[in-house]
Structure 1
Amino acid sequence: MKALSCIAACAVLLLLVSEPQLAVAVTCNPTQLAPCASAISSNQAPSRLCCVRITQQRPCLCQYLKNPNLKKFVNSPNARKIASTCKVAYPRC
């Protein structure tokens, strides 16, 4: 009985100590990339906000590449440069 209570106490301790892994849902919204517009249309360096947004929207980039209206922007050389500068892996869809 003592061993069982010790195991239960250890299990509770592990649950309290371990950090829960929460999945964060991403809402795909290409307007979230608006802070990157000037960097995409010119050779300007991306802003910090642009890097934050492209990191957040990274899971959506394949979806954007399938959209003919967005593909030309997401697949542009400047967009690839922004991804590289922001240390965001360019998707392989």
Structure 2
Amino acid sequence: MKPSSVVFFCVISAILLLRPPTGAESVTCDPSLLNPCAAAFLFSSRPSSLCCSRIKSQVPCYCQYLNDPSLSGYISGGKKVAAACGVSLPSC
């Protein structure tokens, strides 16, 4: 193997190892991001597209919200809204 090939292989390997994995985006679990869903949660109204977008972004936080006593009362309404948005929630 030529020395230039070895250097090239090492550089490519380093780049692949040092970059973050694809799809590993960090999610900020902030229930206030679900404010656009308040009417849908409380009054069973049709969720807006912004609400559905926010629910999709907060799916990784669902179990955390479910275990929070101050939020758990909204979870049953949240399940209905998520279903109306076509979002599957994880089992906790």
Give, in whole Å, the separation in 2 of the partners of 1:71 and 1:92. Answer: 14
Question: 1:21 Cα shift?
Answer: 2.2
Q: What is the TM-score of this pair, normalised by structure 1?
A: 0.73
Query: Hey, what does 1:46 align to over in structure 2?
Result: 47
Query: Hey, what does 2:91 align to over in structure 1?
Result: 92
Contiguous gaps of at least 5 residues in structure 1: 13-19
Aligned residues: 80
Aligned residue type for 1:92: S
Contiguous gaps of at least 5 residues in structure 2: 13-20
Give, in whole Å, the separation in 2 of the partners of 1:38 and 1:44. Answer: 6
Aligned residue type for 1:85: A
Which aligned runs of 4 or more in structure 1 are off by greater than 2 angstroms? none
Give, in whole Å, the separation in 1 of the partners of 2:90 and 2:39. Answer: 21
* Correspondence list, 1:55-70, <5 A: 55-70=56-71
Percent identical pairs in the alignment equals 47
Give, in whole Å, the separation in 2 of the partners of 1:39 and 1:60. Answer: 19
Q: What is the TM-score of this pair, normalised by structure 2?
A: 0.74
CA offsets per residue over residues 20-79 of structure 1, 9 Å max, x none?
7242100100000000000000121000000000000000010000000000102x2x32
